[in-house]
Chain A
């Protein structure tokens, strides 16, 4: 068989051969959606995907991840303003400053573990401030937990230690696919790994406040929540 024959054979099996072009309206919407986002020129310093390869493209992914992290963050924390300010945390949702009644834990029986349900917010273009104990201290919910299951759309964590805002055995994070994908990229949830997770108003906080367990992050949590 020649290369040309091989090429012909492969082309007859192109899965996209029968894909009709995108309707112009859809194209317009896609472009407009992309352009509605802020252009940020911060250097890419976020978590990178595959440590084996660090081609320029890998850094592109890293940059994308940084942008997603920036997007998921619920805080439009523009550096400086918050520190020393006497105002409320500038979280995006109304009513976020109310700490009472946000623990939506449900007890499903004497033998069943208790569960706190959290969600993820749609990506926004908010910028992230540098993580500090002071910022963390504004979080209503914080815990140290290990991912015990990841099914489509739901991440379940077994809580090892509560820092604030709950006393349940498990925490589930449930969100629509787009939000979930963004959150998982931001926090890097992986089955069996240990995480420090913070949340406000029932939404997991990205912006590097929630992430894989590390001594540095744990020290920040301890400082923030006086554990």
Chain B
């Protein structure tokens, strides 16, 4: 028989986990292969369950992203080292599921992915958290374990670097388009 305290704990976990599970799934889907994403999601939820007392009451999501980030790093260490590259490529250049939206030019999209891939990983991650997870600098700071101020500065620089890369790859694409399709 479970105690009252245990029931309360389960109740709280269920409430929080249902709230963060889908964002966490997406977070992982953006960064690794589906099999690893499944494993790491389960691991992340387990850590959240065990450390429920430390989970912030008001906004548990950034904290949970931080757990997922570390669980993912763990999973990718060691035997998965070779796989990580493949996963990153899959994220940067997803095979077929991401079709260009209306009005988009394919060449330009590939340029964006290349530009993102050309950045330092830390910069690219900030941009992903900004654009895909749609976090504020304070939330990103909670995920990454740095100060919001540092995030604001780095994010600003990362955006400028990405724009600069886009300009470069955009020009390169312009030259190559005369020779037909670019290598993907």
Our verdict on whether A and B bind, yes or no, reads: yes
Identify which of A10, A18, A65 contacts B112 (C-beta below 8 A).
A10
CA gap between A60 and B70 in the complex, in Å: 8
Which residue of chain B has the shortest Cβ distance to A27 in the bound complex? B21
B17–A153 CB distance below 8 A: no
Contact among A9, A19, A37, A152 for B82, CB-based, below 8 A? A152
B116 to chain A, nearest CB (A): 8
Q: Which of B124-165 contact A (CB under 8 A)?
A: 127-128, 130-132, 144-146, 159, 162-163
Segment with Cβ contacts to B, from A87-95, A110-118, A173-181: A173-181
* B17 adjacent to A34 (CB under 8 Å): yes
B162 touches A34 (CB 8 A): no
> CA separation between A57 and B52, bound complex, in Å?
14
Chain A residues within 8 Å of B17, by CB? 30-31, 34
Segment at the B interface, from A77-85, A184-192, A202-210: A184-192
Query: Do A61 and B13 touch (CB < 8 A)?
Result: no
B118 at the interface (CB under 8 A from A): no
Residues of B11-31 contacting chain A, CB below 8 A:
13-14, 17-18, 21-22, 25-27, 29-30
Q: Contact size class for A?
A: 35 or more
B98–A15 contact, CB under 8 A?
Answer: yes
Q: Which residue of A lies closest to B52 (CB)?
A: A39
Q: Residues of B with Cβ closer than 8 Å to A? A: 9-10, 13-14, 17-18, 21-22, 25-27, 29-30, 35, 39, 41-43, 45-52, 66-67, 69-71, 73-75, 77-83, 91, 94, 97-98, 100-101, 104, 109, 112-113, 116, 127-128, 130-132, 144-146, 159, 162-163, 166
